[in-house]
Structure formats: C-alpha cells, structure tokens
Amino acid sequence: MADIFDKQLTAVMEHGVRMRPKPIYNALEVRDGEVFLDGQPMVMAARNDYLGLAHDPRVVRAAAEAAHRWGASSSASRLIGGSLTLHEELEARLAAFLGCEAAIVTTTGFEANLALAPLLGRGDVVFSDKANHASLIEAVRLGFADRRWYRHSDTADLERKLAAADPDAAKVIFTDGLFSMEGDLCRLPELASLARRHGARLVVDGAHDIGLLGPRGRGVGDHFGLPDAIDLHTGTLSKGFGSIGGFLAGPREVIHYLRHTSRSVIFTTSMPPASAAAALAALTVVETEPERRTRALEVARRVRDGLRGLGFDTGDSVTPIVPVITGRTDMATALWREVLAAGVLASPVSAPAVPEERSLVRLSLQATHTDEEIARILAAFAAGGRKLGLIPDAPAVPAARPAGSVTAAPGQQTSACAVMDRVS
Ligand SMILES: Cc1ncc(COP(=O)(O)O)c(C=O)c1O
C-alpha cells in the first residue's frame, strides 16, 4: 500500500524541485539596493520593492510607532475583535486612491485573490489567463463556477471561449495587470471591450502595477487611460507599497458581500498594525512623489536596453520586472549562478512558474538602484552570458524597444524561487 508522504515526496524529487532558500543579511547601514549574502555585498535585484519604500525612513517610522502603540499583532480576525481603526483608514484611503466606492484589506495579497472565490457560483463561468498568479488560479479552483483557461494574453482565444459559453451564464474574466514572471502588461483595452460585449465582469490583480504604473500610480487602468475598465481590483501592499498585506477595491455592495463571505478574510488574523501603518505612509509617498515611478521605469529601461544590446532575450517586458530568457532550465540556473558570483542577486525561474521552454533569470528593478548598480548588473550578465555562450562575444547591435514599452514620458506611470540553492 502506498504511503501518502513517500508518494508525494517521490513525485517532487522526480521533478527536481529540491530547493532551499538562502538567508540574506542586510548591511548594517541598511540600503535597499544592497544586501549581504554569505558575507558578500550583492546588488539586490530580486525584490519587488519597486519604489524603494520598504526602507524609506517615513515608512519604517510609521511601522515602528504603530507597533509601539498597537502591539505586534492584532491577535484576532476582522469580524471578531481584529478590526483596527488603522485598517478602516487604510481601506478608505485605498478606495479613494483607486477611485472605488469601497475596499477591504487582507493579511496578504494571496488572500485578497482567494477572497474572490465566493463570486464564482454554480453555473457561472470564469475565464482566466493561463499565466495568472498562483493565487488567482487558486481562487478559480476554490470557486464553483465553470473554468475556462485562455492562452496567455491571447484575446482571440478568450473571445472564442466567451462566444462558446452559455450566453445567459454570469461571466467574469480574471487577469493579472502586470504579469509577474515576464514583466508584460495585460491587454486591458481589448479585455475591457470583450468584457463589455459579452456581459462579463473584469477583475484585475494589480499586485505589480498599482503604485507603479499610470500618471497617478493607479495601475494598468491609469496607464491605459481606462480608469473605469476594471470592475474589481485586487492587489498587494508587499510590492510597490513596501509593506505586507492585500486588498480588494470595487463597488460597495460587492465589497460588503466579500467581507462577509470570503474565508480568507473571515478566518484569519487581520493585517498587523505595523504593516497597516507602513502601507498608509507608503500610500502618501505614492500619491505625492511621482518621480519615484519615473526613476523605477528609467532604471528598468536602461537595464533592459543594456541586456538587449548584449544580445539577451528579454521577452515583452516593459516594466521593472525584466526576464532574461534562457529557454533551458539548466541555462537559467547556470546564468543565475554566474551573476550571483559576480555580486548580483536575481531570481532563477522555471516551470511551473513559466512554461518549461521559457526558463529565465528574473531581475526586479527599483527606483533606488544607483547608476553604479545598473552598471554592475549589466557587467555581471555580460560576463556570465559570454562564458555560457548565451550571447555573442562582441556586443550585438542594440535591439529596438518593443511596442508599448512603458517609459516615464507617456505616463509616469510564484516566483518558483527566491534566493535558492539546490539541496543536493
Ligand atoms: C500577481 C501577484 N498576485 C498576488 C501576489 C500575492 O501577494 P502577496 O505576496 O502579498 O501574498 C503576488 C506575489 O507574489 C503576485 O505576484
């Protein structure tokens, strides 16, 4: 008789996902662009702190003061004693920021997406991009609606699937706003028009774009000049906002319904006070310092252009998530090791986070990266790429920027691995 532990562990070992994270040490003088790993200083390009707010003194002070005043934990869930005025203030501020009637904050962004499940009833149909984040995929699996997975950003495939569905069924489309592995944007104008034509609601996970994209930092809707195209927003406070926590924002009745039916809202301890206070302070910075968005996008553009000029494939990225696509997983691991040895901490990404043949090394760039750090990143990739034969020895002719590239001008607009090492 099979033992359930042995069976699952064997399956995992066969797929080679024996990874363990390596701990990171911050420098004593904490600077968010640099960390220490095994005693060596590293350019940190594996975090999602796009605006450099996790170490901003105003954000850190707000967190520390809130911890002193409110304690280290709220110690209860929202409906039974864990609702603080800080949570309500953050909900009101986020709703106003996104131009929505109401918002709920959750303890993580993952939970914000899980909280969508009660929208998906029997007989309804949910259409979900195949490259959506794991937490959106889990929400689809948790719900009772019929599921249709459309090819990544393939609006023709989505249209076929919408047309084939029961015209009377209630329908919803789920998409990431900015896809977290390859840094490409969803095709919001086409998605919005398909949603309208087929009577579907559009739900966008703005985990990576809210705070970063659009003239006011409101995410892809703001970036495309379509503020009303999104029916319901989900997002996280752990990336552009330098804290931790998640949120949903949309029509008042919908938020009220989810607040009282979503298990990931009801049955978990609410967001810690320090995190809520940090997010509030970060939101003020997002609202008042658009130059941070400009700088984050400029850093990303320079790194992306530099990598393309060297001959690397950076896919359709137009954002601070820059993938260096190697194709083969062993090449992604080898390149990651080379750049790590040269003092750059990036993330190796392989299946199931991306399709098998699109393994990559992911760079997450931020407003606080210095020009010198940009140069170190490019030098590390140049040396590693040449050593592994991934790029030509002589510099290639600089490649043209892809259409739709996000720059400062038109609008300031599961990773498989963090810092991982093979166990064996
Ligand atoms: C697109 C997307 N959605 C949701 C999440 C979950 O956010 P959190 O880390 O706050 O749980 C992530 C984080 O990795 C993400 O990339």
Q: Which of 367, 360, 327, 326 is nearest to 346 (CA)?
A: 360
Measured CA to CA, the distance from residue 401 to residue 143 in angstroms comes to 40
Q: What pLDDT score does 351 carry?
A: 85
Measured CA to CA, the distance from residue 415 to residue 412 in angstroms comes to 26
The domain total for the chain is 2
In a domain, 213, yes or no: yes
Spacing of C-alpha 361 from chain mean position:
16
Q: What pLDDT score does 245 carry?
A: 98
Lowest-confidence pick of 5-14, 141-150, 205-214, 383-392: 5-14
Residue closest via CA to ligand 1's atom 16 equals 180
Q: List the domain range (segments joined by +) for residue 181.
A: 58-288
* Residue 135 alpha carbon, nearest atom of ligand 1: 4
- Domain final residue pick, 246, 262, 288: 288
Q: What pLDDT score does 410 carry?
A: 31
Check if 238 has its Cβ closer than 6 Å to any atom of ligand 1.
yes
* Residue 179 alpha carbon, nearest atom of ligand 1: 1
* Residue tagged 């099979």 (tokens): 2
Residues 24 and 76 in one domain: no
Residues 158 and 249 in one domain: yes
Average pLDDT, the chain: 89
In a domain, 51, yes or no: no
Is pLDDT of 25 > 90? Answer: no
Tokens of 60: 């850190």
Is pLDDT of 174 > 60? Answer: yes
Candidate list 128, 180, 262, 317, residue with the active-site label? 180
Span from the CA of 328 to the centroid of ligand 1 (angstroms): 25
Q: Hey, how many other C-beta atoms are within 10 angstroms of the C-beta on 9?
A: 11
Residues 224 and 162 in one domain: yes
pLDDT per position as a tens digit, 121-161: 999 999 999 999 999 999 999 999 999 999 999 999 999 99
* Residue tagged 């098998």 (tokens): 356
pLDDT band with cut points at 50, 70 and 90 for residue 22: low
152 and 184 Cβ atoms separated by less than 8 Å:
no
Residue with the bigger pLDDT between 290 and 40: it is 290
One DSSP character per residue, 339-393 reads: HHHTTEE-EEE-TTSS-GGGEEEEEE--TT--HHHHHHHHHHHHHHHHHTTSS-S
Measured CA to CA, the distance from residue 365 to residue 45 in angstroms comes to 6
pLDDT band with cut points at 50, 70 and 90 for residue 415: very low
- Domain final residue pick, 228, 261, 288: 288
pLDDT per position as a tens digit, 215-273: 999 999 999 999 999 999 999 999 999 999 999 999 999 999 999 999 999 999 999 99
Q: What pLDDT score does 423 carry?
A: 27
In a domain, 5, yes or no: no
Is pLDDT of 420 > 80? Answer: no
Residue with the bigger pLDDT between 25 and 315: it is 315
> Residue 393: what are its φ and ψ, rounded to 5°?
-65, -45
Residues 6+ apart with CB under 8 A from 133: 113, 176, 180, 205, 207, 414
Spacing of C-alpha 127 from chain mean position:
20
- Domain final residue pick, 261, 288, 315: 288
The SS3 assignment for 305 reads helix
Residue 168's H or E segment, with its range, is: none
In a domain, 50, yes or no: no
Beta strands at 146-150 and 125-129: parallel, antiparallel or unpaired: parallel
Q: Which of 197, 196, 301, 229 is nearest to 206 (CA)?
A: 229
Query: Looking at residues 192-213, what average pLDDT do you find?
Result: 98
Q: What pLDDT score does 395 carry?
A: 58
In a domain, 392, yes or no: yes
Residues 95 and 236 in one domain: yes
In a domain, 53, yes or no: no
In a domain, 8, yes or no: no
* Residue tagged 């562990």 (tokens): 9
pLDDT per position as a tens digit, 75-133: 999 999 999 999 999 999 999 999 999 999 999 999 999 999 999 999 999 999 999 99
End-to-end CA distance of the chain: 28
Residues 265 and 221 in one domain: yes
Residues 6+ apart with CB under 8 A from 249: 94, 95, 98, 100, 102, 103, 232, 233, 235, 255
Residues 6+ apart with CB under 8 A from 303: 322, 363, 365, 374, 377, 378
Residues 138 and 191 in one domain: yes
Residue closest via CA to ligand 1's atom 7 equals 109
Residues 95 and 229 in one domain: yes
Residue with the bigger pLDDT between 303 and 2: it is 303
Q: What pLDDT score does 32 carry?
A: 60
Sheet architecture: strand order including 321-327: 321-327, 359-364, 347-349
Residues 104 and 232 in one domain: yes
In a domain, 198, yes or no: yes
Span from the CA of 323 to the centroid of ligand 1 (angstroms): 17
Q: What percent of the chain has pLDDT over 70?
A: 87
Residues 159 and 76 in one domain: yes
Residues 171 and 234 in one domain: yes
Span from the CA of 236 to the centroid of ligand 1 (angstroms): 6
> What's the pTM value of the predicted model, to 2 decimals?
0.90
Q: What pLDDT score does 8 carry?
A: 78
Return the amino acid letter for 261: T
CATH number reported for the structural domain that contains residue 415 in this entry: 3.90.1150.10
Residues 62 and 83 in one domain: yes
Residues 284 and 301 in one domain: no
Q: Hey, how many other C-beta atoms are within 10 angstroms of the C-beta on 30?
A: 11
Check if 234 has its Cβ closer than 6 Å to any atom of ligand 1.
no
Is pLDDT of 305 > 90? Answer: yes
To the query of whether residue 239 is one of the catalytic residues in this protein, the response is yes
CATH number reported for the structural domain that contains residue 260 in this entry: 3.40.640.10
Q: What pLDDT score does 288 carry?
A: 98
DSSP 313: B
Runs of H (alpha helix) within 72-121: 85-98, 109-114
Check if 133 has its Cβ closer than 6 Å to any atom of ligand 1.
yes
